[in-house]
Amino acid sequence: MAEARKEQERDELHRAIWAIADELRGSVDGWDFKSYVLGMMFYRYISENLAAYINEGEREAGDAGFDYARLPDEVAETAREDLVETKGFFILPSELFCNVRVRAPGDENLNMTLETVFKNIERSAMGSDSEGNFAGLFDDIDVNSNKLGPTVAKRNANLVKLIEGVAGMGLNYKENAIDAFGDAYEYLMGMYASNAGKSGGEFFTPQEVSELLTRIAVAGKTEVNKVYDPACGSGSLLLKAAKILGKGNVRLGFFGQEINLTTYNLCRINMFLHDIDYDKFDIAHEDTLVSPQHWDEEPFEVIVSNPPYSIKWEGDDNPVLINDPRFSPAGVLAPKSKADLAFIMHALSWLAVNGTAAIVCFPGIMYRGGAEKKIRQYLIDNNFIDCVIQLPNNLFYGTSIATCIMVLKRSKADNRTLFIDASKEFVKVTNNNKLTEENIARIVEEYVSRTDEEHFSRCVPYEEIAENDYNLSVSTYVEPEDTREVIDIVKLNAEIEEIVERQQVLREEIDKIIAEIEV
């Protein structure tokens, strides 16, 4: 029943999003459409969240019919300070989503109304502890953009369609069986996967991959200090940790860094949509490799990440980086054209002694030579690599690359590294492969048990990896199963002999026919 309810809610949500896309088709480009839909969903959510919070308090105090949405602005204003302190933001009743929606069809200045509302929400946090979490939060929802329409009237007409579409979504953020926002984000990415699923080496992480990565990173843990993602995108990995461990079991909160402004804003929105309080997350907008934030923070017990694959970075063009305490222990920097191992070294330096980092990697870093080999050697010689997992190909939107997961630990029980070949752990779904719950469970079970299983997993001692020139490709240590048909040589030889005999008979018959013709 629970699974059926999930599918029903998911189908309804997808239909609602598709209906909005159909209404705005030809008016708003796909990538921008995603930002508008998610931004408007967020505006609806925080409006309903704030109103429900106030209504619940007033009704418990004895006013059974209280409705914040109907309260005059001047009366509501008296509660601003307390609400900012508890919720991190404030919205006047007249600026709630439900009230703006009612006025929208007749509002000739709807674009300016929405711009004012969004700015007022951001400004409500100024001077408070939540200021950083709200600053610029609605920047990607440009209600005055020509992308919405060439004239104010057409822009406003599209905004009305957008508001009505989002209002019609069956969203109950506390009781939905699905992760409505996360599912909407994934569906939108799928709709525009050909050009929106990747950008500069960045690939959206499907929920199943997030699930696997996070379950590995939290294996054996019921409570942790913090969760961190150095390339957090929209925050899906951070939120998976919140779901798996429970928000209350992540004592100090969720931390991340993201260079892309759009996804940085989406990540902060995502935190609010999942009821992560403003004082329990810290998302920074900077280049992680050259301008790391959270430097002075207590090291993280859980690190999960899907950093961009093989992007360019400053590398040895920046003379300061070789002395950076994150990179200097390896004695060499990752190549300027391939920053993959720079992210690995960064994650390792942020990792607590008792922590685990699980990072999606491009397969080339497992076997290439030069500086990358030297970094691998440093990691293996110092016993930091706990496990390498080969994933199936075609898991990610926009790429068919068969990626890997590298698991790092600072404190291992022995000097062996576990290699898991999970390349066959998938089911085919439309154009992509997908990890099922069974696939995820099998991989995680093997990661925890660390047993040798023919064609699937093997714990390899340090000496063997060193002998293999520090090659970390899973196929070097786990022999793939030979699925070719076994050939019976004796039977084959008998068949060949029979064919030769038949061939000889045919030749003799042909010779007889030719001889008769010549006569």
What pLDDT shows up at residue 27? 65
Query: Which of 1, 429, 7, 434 is CA-nearest to residue 178?
Result: 7
Domain that holds residue 303: 208-477
**Domain annotation covers residue 513:** no
Amino acid at 463: E
What pLDDT shows up at residue 225? 97
The predicted model gives 266-278 an average pLDDT of: 86
Which phi-psi region, left, alpha or beta, contains residue 227 (left: φ > 0; alpha: ψ -120 to 50)?
A: beta
Alpha-carbon distance of 31 to 195, in angstroms, equals 8
pLDDT at residue 312 tops 90: yes
Domain boundary among 130, 165, 196: 196
What pLDDT shows up at residue 172? 66
Asked if 100 and 46 touch (Cβ cutoff 8 Å), the reply is no
What pLDDT shows up at residue 196? 45
The predicted model gives 72-95 an average pLDDT of: 96
Residues facing residue 351 across a β-bridge: 300
Alpha-carbon distance of 158 to 145, in angstroms, equals 12
**Domain annotation covers residue 515:** no
What pLDDT shows up at residue 173? 55
What pLDDT shows up at residue 508? 75
pTM: 0.84
Return the C-alpha torsion angle 139, 143, 145, 149, nearest 10: 150
The predicted model gives 15-19 an average pLDDT of: 86
Residues facing residue 228 across a β-bridge: 255, 303
Mutual angle of helices 236-245 and 261-273, in 10-degree steps: 20
Domain boundary among 162, 196, 230: 196
- For residues 103 and 45, membership in a common domain is answered with yes
**Domain annotation covers residue 473:** yes
Domain count, the chain: 2
- For residues 162 and 189, membership in a common domain is answered with yes
Higher pLDDT, 189 or 308: 308
Alpha-carbon distance of 420 to 392, in angstroms, equals 12
Asked if 353 and 364 touch (Cβ cutoff 8 Å), the reply is no
Higher pLDDT, 300 or 499: 300
Q: Among all chains, which residue has been given the structure tokens 């030979």? A: 482
The predicted model gives 355-381 an average pLDDT of: 97
Lowest-confidence range among 97-111, 117-131, 265-279?
265-279
Residues facing residue 435 across a β-bridge: none
CA 95 to chain centre: 32
Average pLDDT, the chain: 89
What pLDDT shows up at residue 15? 87
pLDDT at residue 51 tops 70: yes
What pLDDT shows up at residue 10? 78
- For residues 264 and 145, membership in a common domain is answered with no
Between β-strands 404-409 and 300-305, what pairing exists: parallel, antiparallel or unpaired? unpaired
**Domain annotation covers residue 498:** no
What pLDDT shows up at residue 357? 98
pLDDT digits (tens, 9 = 90+) for 136-164: 999 888 899 888 888 999 999 999 999 99
- For residues 366 and 257, membership in a common domain is answered with yes
- Both tokens of 444, joined, read 């995680």
Domain boundary among 143, 161, 196: 196
What pLDDT shows up at residue 353? 97
- For residues 45 and 155, membership in a common domain is answered with yes
Asked if 37 and 167 touch (Cβ cutoff 8 Å), the reply is no
Alpha-carbon distance of 152 to 144, in angstroms, equals 8
**Domain annotation covers residue 220:** yes
- Both tokens of 35, joined, read 């930002």
What pLDDT shows up at residue 287? 96
pLDDT digits (tens, 9 = 90+) for 455-501: 999 999 999 999 999 999 999 999 987 655 666 777 777 878 888 77
Asked if 306 and 360 touch (Cβ cutoff 8 Å), the reply is yes
Q: Among all chains, which residue has been given the structure tokens 């492969």? A: 433
pLDDT digits (tens, 9 = 90+) for 437-457: 999 999 999 999 999 999 999
**Domain annotation covers residue 486:** no
- Both tokens of 134, joined, read 């709200």
What pLDDT shows up at residue 507? 79
- For residues 408 and 444, membership in a common domain is answered with yes
What pLDDT shows up at residue 197? 45
Higher pLDDT, 186 or 302: 302
- For residues 415 and 353, membership in a common domain is answered with yes
Stretch (H or E) spanning 353? strand 351-361
**Domain annotation covers residue 300:** yes
SS (H, E, C) 239-278: HHHHHHHCHHHEEEEEEEECCCHHHHHHHHHHHHHCCCCH
Lowest-confidence range among 253-257, 275-279, 375-379, 412-416?
275-279
- For residues 234 and 182, membership in a common domain is answered with no
What pLDDT shows up at residue 285? 95
Asked if 200 and 311 touch (Cβ cutoff 8 Å), the reply is yes
Which range among 102-111, 202-211, 391-400 has the greatest average pLDDT?
Answer: 102-111
pLDDT at residue 315 tops 50: yes
Alpha-carbon distance of 56 to 172, in angstroms, equals 16
The predicted model gives 512-518 an average pLDDT of: 72
Find the CATH number of the domain harbouring 417.
3.40.50.150
Which phi-psi region, left, alpha or beta, contains residue 430 (left: φ > 0; alpha: ψ -120 to 50)?
A: left
Alpha-carbon distance of 380 to 384, in angstroms, equals 6
What pLDDT shows up at residue 152? 94
- For residues 339 and 421, membership in a common domain is answered with yes
Going by pLDDT thresholds of 50, 70 and 90, the confidence category of residue 177 is very low
Alpha-carbon distance of 386 to 408, in angstroms, equals 5
- Both tokens of 383, joined, read 């016993």
What pLDDT shows up at residue 483? 58
- For residues 253 and 351, membership in a common domain is answered with yes
> In 319-402, which ranges are continuous DSSP H helix?
340-350, 371-381
- For residues 180 and 300, membership in a common domain is answered with no
**Domain annotation covers residue 443:** yes
Find the CATH number of the domain harbouring 55.
1.20.1260.30
Higher pLDDT, 491 or 112: 112
Asked if 92 and 76 touch (Cβ cutoff 8 Å), the reply is yes
Output the CA torsion sign for 28, 39, 17, 164: negative
- Both tokens of 287, joined, read 């280049």
- For residues 188 and 224, membership in a common domain is answered with no
